[in-house]
Structure 1
Amino acid sequence: MNKLNYTIIALLFIVFLGCKDKNDNFVFLSIEQDVELGAQVSAEIENDPTQYPILDEEEYAAAYAYLGDLVDEILESGEVEYKDEFAWEFKIIADDSVLNAFATPGGYIYVYTGLIKYLDQEDDLMGVLGHEIAHADLRHTSRNLQRQYGIQVLLGLLVGENASQLESIAGQIAGTAAGLSFSREFETEADAKSVDYLAKTKYACNAAASFFQKLIDQGQAGGTPQFLSTHPSPANRVEDINAKATEVGCETDALNPTTYEDFKQLLP
């Protein structure tokens, strides 16, 4: 198919179908392709246990059950647009040296033991989970791909051409998943969305700010992990998250249940 035909299809999508998703964003990858891409990325990750030593779900069933309850709290908030379409599977990666978490397209969430042990309370982890679920739900990776590859390549995927391209893209994402970097715009969107999610739960709706605040308090703001990026700055993000919480008018007092320490003890 030549460039002109791709352009015509693009215009048809924009004019007649709109190409807008549930979050009112123009995304040329279909939801089905988001799901397929996420599944392929997940498979690539699980096939690389050296880089991604994922805890066995049977051996660490109690830890997975605990984390699953937290994820369900967010999914049942009524604010996750693709709650029913995406997989929403989660894995724990055993590496205490890494303060990280990341999400793939289609709702596959990965959290490192290093981050879990660094956080102080359940609310803090809920803030991280809300942020990562937001990246998937807002389709940030797919929107990045749209910017990186352009409409022509993505339209080829939509019409069934370049079948190997999706697999190639999945491999690229999996290879850099732990270090995924999003723009200032996308990080700000994910921060704000986490407030919306948690506002409908029993947790502090500004919980995503607590991680940044701890980094600031410990003088580590310059070493913010990739998953939460350094742009905007930690101080600005704390301010923006708290401002969003004030705007929403939601609860900002943390539960701080002692069960979080019990959860940490379930990990290797």
Structure 2
Amino acid sequence: MKKITLLKIFTPVALLTLILSFSACDKNDNVLLFSVQNDIELGAQVSQEIANDPQYNIMSRTGNEEAYAYLEGMVDEILESGQVAYKDEFAWEVTILKDDETLNAFATPGGYIYVYTGLIKYLESADALEGVLGHEIAHADLRHTSRNLQKQYGVSILLSILIGDNASQLEQIAGQVAGTVAGLSFSRDYESEADAKSVVYLAETQYACNGAAYFFEKLLESGQGGGTPEFLSTHPSPDSRVEDINAKATSEGCETNLATNTDYDTFKNSL
């Protein structure tokens, strides 16, 4: 017997009603078919895919407890800022990837954060790293990947997942995201949104709220502005991002002086 998917039997009006019944504004006022629970499930699947893929070279927590504790403490400061919408819903698990040649960090849906040792060693201050962490936490908290998936897959496929007519699709999407997540590129608007949110997060911590700007300044000073890593690349350019981040810090009236953090070099040298 030929299978007829549930979506094919809905009239346009019924389909619209179904879409509206599943759609809702999230905590950041984004209208998404993907629910927060979908983000959580997708993130957990992507995390497992990454754990099983040797190319990511995950640094073991065993034997590196102090390094993980230091990085987790930095993440916790942002989570305790009172500005992270999904602080209690998402996992917010940070993982170090052993690769000294890669200047990168990324986050999956559901709050799984990955940071390469190359990026940590490249950055000269904890403030800069905290700015990058804030940027990545913002991508997850603002649900940028899920918003991209909604654009990429469209309403039909996402509804088929939600109504249980395409149970394997979420797993397939997880595999795709895991395969490309380290090189995810977001739109200009999403990157700017994450930059601005990083300032808001850091304003409530001990770190300079424009910490992410220090990363871009180092890139520009070293002549690498044109080779910005994928996790902070595409648009806008590094120099304009420094201006925008600093302007946001000025509008927030938050601290922009580098924090005194003598433990950062010890943390870097332990990797």
TM-score, normalised to structure 1, is 0.95
Give, in whole Å, the separation in 2 of the partners of 1:64 and 1:44.
21
Amino acid at match of 2:192: T
1:18 to partner: Cα distance: 5.4
Give, in whole Å, the separation in 2 of the partners of 1:254 and 1:104.
29
Counterpart mapping for 1:2-81 below 5 A: 2-3=7-8, 5=10, 8=13, 11-12=16-17, 19-49=24-54, 51-81=55-85
Aligned residues: 266
Q: Hey, what does 1:110 align to over in structure 2?
A: 114
Structure showing greater radius of gyration is 2
Give, in whole Å, the separation in 2 of the partners of 1:105 and 1:6.
32
Q: Per-residue CA shift, 1:189-241, capped at 9, x if unaligned?
A: 10011011011111111111111111111111000000001310001101111
Give, in whole Å, the separation in 2 of the partners of 1:216 and 1:172.
33
Task: State which of 160, 171, 177 in structure 2 corresponds to 1:167.
Answer: 171
1:7 to partner: Cα distance: 5.0
> Is the CA contact (8 Å cut-off) linking 1:42 and 1:174 kept in structure 2?
yes
In structure 2, relative to structure 1, the CA distance for the partners of 1:165 and 1:7 (3 Å cut) is: farther
1:185 to partner: Cα distance: 0.9
Q: Per-residue CA shift, 1:96-125, capped at 9, x if unaligned?
A: 010000000000000000000000011011
Please say which of residues 256-265 and 232-241 is displaced more in the overlay.
Answer: 256-265
Give, in whole Å, the separation in 1 of the partners of 2:247 and 2:208.
14
1:177 to partner: Cα distance: 1.3
1:48 to partner: Cα distance: 0.7
Give, in whole Å, the separation in 1 of the partners of 2:233 and 2:7.
39
Q: Hey, what does 1:259 align to over in structure 2?
A: 263
Tell me the secondary structure at the aligned position of residue 56 of structure 2. Answer: coil
Task: State which of 186, 189, 196 in structure 1 corresponds to 2:190.
Answer: 186
1:4 to partner: Cα distance: 6.5
Counterpart mapping for 1:161-240 below 5 A: 161-240=165-244
Tell me the secondary structure at the aligned position of residue 24 of structure 2. Answer: coil
In structure 2, relative to structure 1, the CA distance for the partners of 1:171 and 1:199 (3 Å cut) is: same
Counterpart mapping for 1:73-152 below 5 A: 73-152=77-156
1:10 to partner: Cα distance: 5.7
> Is the CA contact (8 Å cut-off) linking 1:98 and 1:112 kept in structure 2?
yes
> Is the CA contact (8 Å cut-off) linking 1:90 and 1:109 kept in structure 2?
yes
In structure 2, relative to structure 1, the CA distance for the partners of 1:75 and 1:240 (3 Å cut) is: same
Give, in whole Å, the separation in 1 of the partners of 2:66 and 2:229.
27
Give, in whole Å, the separation in 1 of the partners of 2:14 and 2:63.
50
Tell me the secondary structure at the aligned position of residue 163 of structure 1. Answer: coil
Please say which of residues 78-87 and 9-18 is displaced more in the overlay.
Answer: 9-18
Structure 2 unpaired stretches of 5+: 1-5
Give, in whole Å, the separation in 2 of the partners of 1:131 and 1:257.
20
What is the root-mean-square deviation of aligned Cα atoms in Å?
1.5
Amino acid at match of 2:198: S
Amino acid at match of 1:129: L
> Is the CA contact (8 Å cut-off) linking 1:102 and 1:227 kept in structure 2?
yes
1:143 to partner: Cα distance: 0.3
TM-score, normalised to structure 2, is 0.94
Q: Matched residues, percent identical?
A: 66
- Structure 1 runs, 4 residues or longer, greater than 2 Å off: 2-18
